[in-house]
Structures are given as C-alpha cells and as structure tokens.
Amino acid sequence: MSVGDCLTIESMTLTCTHSSKNVGPAKIIEGPSNVKVVAGETALFFCRATGNPTPTVNFLLDQTISHPRFRASVTIPDGSLLRLTKTHRDQNGLQVQCVARNHVGGDSATAHLTVYDVNAAYDRFTPFTDLPKNAFPNVTQGLQCNKLPIYTQMIRIHQLLLNLMKCPTDLPEGYPVIHSAPKSASAAVGDVSQLDCEVSGYPQPTVIWTKNEVPIPTNGQRITVVGTGSIRFEHLLLSDEGHYECLATNNVGSVLSSKAYLRVKSKSIQHGSLVY
C-alpha cells in the first residue's frame, strides 16, 4: 500500500450471544411446613428449590443460625432438610426460614415450630402408709388420663406397689402416636423385607420414611407403604442397606421414630456341596 492510498474499513456491529434458555433464579418449589412436636422430640423441616445454576438451600432460625448441637442440615434431592433435635419449650413459635439462592436471584419461604410442653404434666399415683406388718392390701384407685398417656410405670417397693402414670396436660386430641416402631433387621438380596411403623392419630397421619436421614419415595413398585405406615421392600438390593426412620405427621403434630438399621446380605450361591 503506497502513501496516499486509503484503507476503508466498513463499520460493523459484533454481538456476543449466549444461550439463556435454561438460566433462571432460584425458586422454592416446596417450602417448609409448620411443625408441631412434643418438647424433647426431633422436628424436621423440608425445603426444595429449582433454578439454573442449581441454587444453594439454607435455613435460618429466627433470622440467624442456631448452635449446630441442636440442628443439622442434610442435602436432599433439589433441596435441604433441617433437623432440630432436643426441641424445648423456649423454641415454641420459632421462625424457620428456607433461603434458596443462585447468582441470578433468590427466594425464601417461612414456617414456624410449635413445641407442646408436656414437662408441665403431673404424676398421679396411689399413696398409702401405715400398713399392718406383712400386709399387702388390694388398693385400687380410679385413674384415667383425659389424653393418651405419655408413659406408664409400675414400681414395687418391698410390699408397696405404686402405679405411676404421666398425664400430658397440653397435647391436643389426635396427636400422632407410633405404636410399633421400626426395629433393625437383616435380609438377603432378592428377599422381601418389612420395617414396621404402625401409627394412629386424627386425622390419620401421613408417614414419611427416611434412609440415612434423606427422604425416600415409597410409591413405586418395589418399595411401598403398607398398613398404617410400615415400609415393604420387594426384591431387596444391596443399595437398600442403611438407617431408616419413619415420620408420622398430621395437622395436629409430628413424631419421629428411632432409627433402625436394615442390613442386606449377598445371597449365597450353592453348587453341589460348595457355597460361594
């Protein structure tokens, strides 16, 4: 190019585009529900969210994080599960907030915890003194709780039989009760197995099962709920092994069973006198 020649560059607009078809802010698709428990029991709060990128899901208690000794969050599909252990009456009315966020945006949902204080319950018993020596009279006193007893206990002191019954004062009618809690069991791959969780309450409680503290579906062909809440496994898999709990809940309250361990053993294959 010689001096004086002109170089003409036509102006042009360069547009950078990227696909934003699936990008979206965090949105809660299943917020936590209000939970009602007896003091000392465990309360579970579920929260699920969607969004792209996948959002983080956290819980705030009264707009702050409580001591980890009394709470733990577990990651579940599309969300998080908050486990409040050893609930106490001071937590009655506690605000539980689920917060979901990604870099596009956030969402939140709020629920509350109700704690029924049964520590204010009173002991009823049949006292009697100044009995004749070596006497063991048949003493009967009518005793009845207006609501389902929390527990009963019989104590024998020498020749004195004392019947103690703890009567709750604040439990509403219909509170869920687990009559048969799951117990640890062992079975082989391919077997049928069942963990019990027979419950009652009014309205009839819904039963949710967790495996290793993560909720599992129980409406498939292989894993189903039978009776009033027991879980049944058809054709056990090695992956079914783990710690199980059942949660019985209705609009009156919630109760969580103790953990039971389901052990799944490999099935032996026999060829003649050999076992593999």
Is the preceding peptide bond at 203 cis, omega within 30 degrees of 0?
A: yes
Q: Give the integer Cα–Cα distance in Å for 192 and 264.
A: 11
Q: Is the pTM of this model over 0.75?
A: no
Q: CA–CA distance from 50 to each of 30, 47, 98, 134, 215 (Å)?
A: 10, 11, 13, 74, 18
Task: Enumerate domains of the chain plus CATH numbers.
Answer: 24-116 (2.60.40.10), 177-265 (2.60.40.10)
Q: Nearest-CA neighbor of 255 among 184, 185, 194, 201?
A: 201
Confidence of residue 267 (pLDDT cuts 50, 70, 90): confident
Question: Are residues 131 and 111 in contact, defined by beta-carbon separation less than 8 angstroms?
Answer: no
Cα distance between residue 32 and residue 217, in whole Å? 18
CB neighbours of residue 17 within 10 Å: 5
Residues 91-128: pLDDT tens digits? Answer: 999 999 999 999 999 999 999 999 998 755 444 344 44
What are all long-range contacts of 73-76, with beta carbons under 8 Å and residues at least 24 apart?
74/213, 74/214, 76/46, 76/48, 76/214, 76/215
pLDDT higher than 90, residue 256: yes
